[in-house]
Amino acid sequence: MAQATRKKLVETEVDTALDARTAAQSHFRTLRLGTPFQPRIDALGLKQDWYSWAGYRAPHSLWDEELEYFAIRSQAALFDISPMTKYRIEGPDAEAYLDRVTLRDVTKLKPGRVHYTAWCDDEGFVLDDGTLFRLSPTRFRLCSQERHLPWLLDSAVGYEVSVEEETEAVAGLALQGPTSFAILRDAGFAGVERLKVFDLAEFAHDGATVTISRTGFTGDLGYELFVPADKALSLWDRLMAAGELRGIRAIGYTALNRARLEAGLIVANADFTTSEHAIRTDRLRMPDEIGLGFMIDPAKGHFNGRRAILEARAKKKLRHVLVGLEIEGNIPAEHAIVYYRKSQEVGLVSAAMWSPMAKRNIALASLKRPYGDTIVDDLWVEIYAMRELQYQKLMKKAKVVQRPFIKLDRRTANPPSDF
């Protein structure tokens, strides 16, 4: 009898393992996964305008990309950031390890704080940029566009630290816009008013914990929320209910992309090519070449790429520079070639738009030094504007300007205001 029961148990175990395997194999039937928020987003995706974000079905736009943008700037916009790659980095050596891997000084990043950083390969070329959340003295979350597990694991040799990819396990939301604080407060996240820019704190939600940070990709007042995947829908519903009277709207990437450009923020593999994806080696970029030189702290100890970066600085081997441009007129100069004296090709625009907030025609461009660095006059962009099957060619003057293109006081105001 006992033997029969044991045999049955073993069989059940085998069946369970087999079922798990079959379930894992079945991913080929769903080439674009849904995120934990997908049921809500599907219901709001009136345009069915999807793209693939790291293999997830993400909306370009849900109902109207213009109005979605204005939701960010006037009310509050909810944007699903779950597909962002997330690593959980934990252990007694986590701080020292991350200090070695990333550019910025992690010893200055206090628990409960977030910083924007980047990391390089040994040649000093940027592997990616991203945000580093210090959840506790020994626990971090690193968020990025691309995936880096082999790099992160190889770099961990000799450190007492564990690196685990947790993209699927953790759902993420960005709540951005002037009423975002009021919505969180109304949703019952007591104490959220104490969060200053780049602060984070944990709050109770639905029997679990949600990590809320005052961060974002819009240059506006805003927050990002991370929650276990199985609590994603209840968090969404909680925010939507609290935000109903404060104009909360879900948005897609097109609107967010406009806001980030106004904020002067760059996107990996849109404004620069990450080093593990650059097939053409002249596309590789050092931090100084994409405007991330400020992250480098030569005074801190060794970090990946340090020798190469400092040598390039010393020997003036930096070949490119990423700049903000203000272009005359109102026609967006997306992917336009940048010229010096209207004739010599010196660079390329990677992102461009008419900024509703700045009322200017703005762009990000990569230029070959010394253009954009020491020579900033007499720069032009050649815009090919397709209008009813004809290119209207425009040669427009471009001025190198400081980023961000817009600066909103409400982003940093303390305490944050209701709108």
307 binds another protein (CB under 8 A): no
Report the alpha-carbon distance of residue 15 to residue 163 in Å, rounded: 31
Task: Identify which range of 224-232, 255-263, 270-278, 350-358 contacts another protein by CB under 8 A.
Answer: 270-278
Told to check if 341 binds another protein by CB under 8 A, we report no
Task: Closer to another protein by CB, 16 or 136: give it.
Answer: 16
Tell me: does residue 208 bind another protein (CB under 8 A).
Answer: no
Binding mask 106-145 for another protein (x = CB under 8 A): -----------------x----------------------
Point out which span in 71-79, 240-248, 278-286, 302-310 binds another protein (CB under 8 A): 278-286
One symbol per residue from 39 to 78: x for binding another protein (CB under 8 A), - otherwise; what is it? -------------x-xx-----------------------
Residue 315 binds to another protein (criterion: CB under 8 A): no
- The site that binds another protein (CB under 8 A) totals a number of residues, namely 26
Distance CA 218, CA 365 (A): 19
Residue 277 near another protein by CB under 8 A: yes
Which residue type occupies 260? Answer: R
Residue 147 near another protein by CB under 8 A: yes
Q: Is 157 in the site for another protein (CB under 8 A)?
A: no
| Residue 279 near another protein by CB under 8 A | yes
Query: Which residue in the set 49, 146, 297, 373 belongs to the binding site for another protein (CB under 8 A)?
Result: 146
Give the separation between CA 102 and CA 154, rounded to whole angstroms.
14
* Residue closest to 168 by CA, chosen among 55, 25, 45, 40: 55
Total Cβ atoms within 10 A of residue 108: 11
Q: Based on the shown chain and the rule CB under 8 A, indicate whether residue 153 belongs to the binding site for another protein.
A: yes
Token pair belonging to 360: 């200017």
Task: Determine whether 165 is exposed, middle or buried from the number of CB atoms within 10 Å of its CB (0-12, 13-18, 19+).
Answer: middle
Written as six digits, the tokens of 227 are 């929650």
Task: Give the span between the Cα atoms of 346 and 107, in whole angstroms.
Answer: 39
User: Omega before 415 cis (within 30°)?
Assistant: yes
The per-residue DSSP string of 271-324 comes to: TB--TTT-SSGGG---GGGGT-GGG--TTS---TTHHHHHHHHHTT---EEEEE
- Distance of closest approach, residue 17 Cβ to another protein, in angstroms: 10
* Of residues 150 and 207, the one with the C-beta less far from another protein: 150
Q: Which member of 42, 49, 105, 276 binds another protein (CB under 8 A)?
A: 276
For residue 226, what are the β-bridge partners?
A: 172, 211
Interaction between residue 335 and another protein (CB under 8 A): no
Give yes or no for residue 207 binding another protein (CB under 8 A): no
DSSP classification of residue 4: H
Q: Which residues bind another protein (CB under 8 A)?
A: 21-22, 24-29, 31-32, 52, 54-55, 123, 146-150, 153, 165, 276-279, 281
